Amino acid sequence: MSVRRFGTQSLARLLGNWQSPSSRAPLWRQLAEALRLLILDGRLALETRLPGERELATALNVSRTTIASALGLLREEGYLQSRQGSGSRIALPAGPLHPGEQTLSAPSVNLATAALSAGPEIHQAYRHALTLMPQYLSYTGYDQQGLVDLRAIMPAAIANAACRHRRMK
């Protein structure tokens, strides 16, 4: 897989108006939150290399300390992987997305929603889907005939469901 690099100006444009003067959160935390949202919604693809701290600080008109603190938080949370001299690359956390969000060894019920927590196969499927997502980001998502990949697997899925339904009768 080739490493993609996100340009400084492109990232600044994508971040848009990330600073909220009315927020009590420090700038570095606001920046970390804005970057986290770009990662989670797929606008910053996995394995994409971010610009250097100096370039980013200049483009966003903030101190390098602000950038370093924001990237440090994302690194701690598992959203970035960094190596000296290689920069920082987008990643997904291996564990729960929110600190303190731990699951019990057995499936537990979330009493706020009365639902079981998602199993590991759901998390694995989500991670896999995120790796495939960049190839679809250049499209509008409104193809009258649907995605080619989906059209290819649907007949077999429908036939399997029909067979299972017939066996149940």
pLDDT digits (tens, 9 = 90+) for 27-37: 999 999 999 99
**Quick one: how many helices (H) and strands (E) in the chain?**
6, 4
CA distance 18 to 34: 6
**Spatial CB neighbours of 51, under 8 Å, sequence gap ≥ 6:** 5, 6, 7, 8, 11, 59, 87
* Structure confidence by residue, pLDDT tens digits, 3-29: 678 789 999 999 999 998 888 999 999
Domains of the chain, earliest start first: 8-90 (1.10.10.10)
Average pLDDT over residues 48-68: 95
Q: pTM value?
A: 0.57
Contact between 81 and 91 (Cβ < 8 Å): yes
CA distance 8 to 14: 10
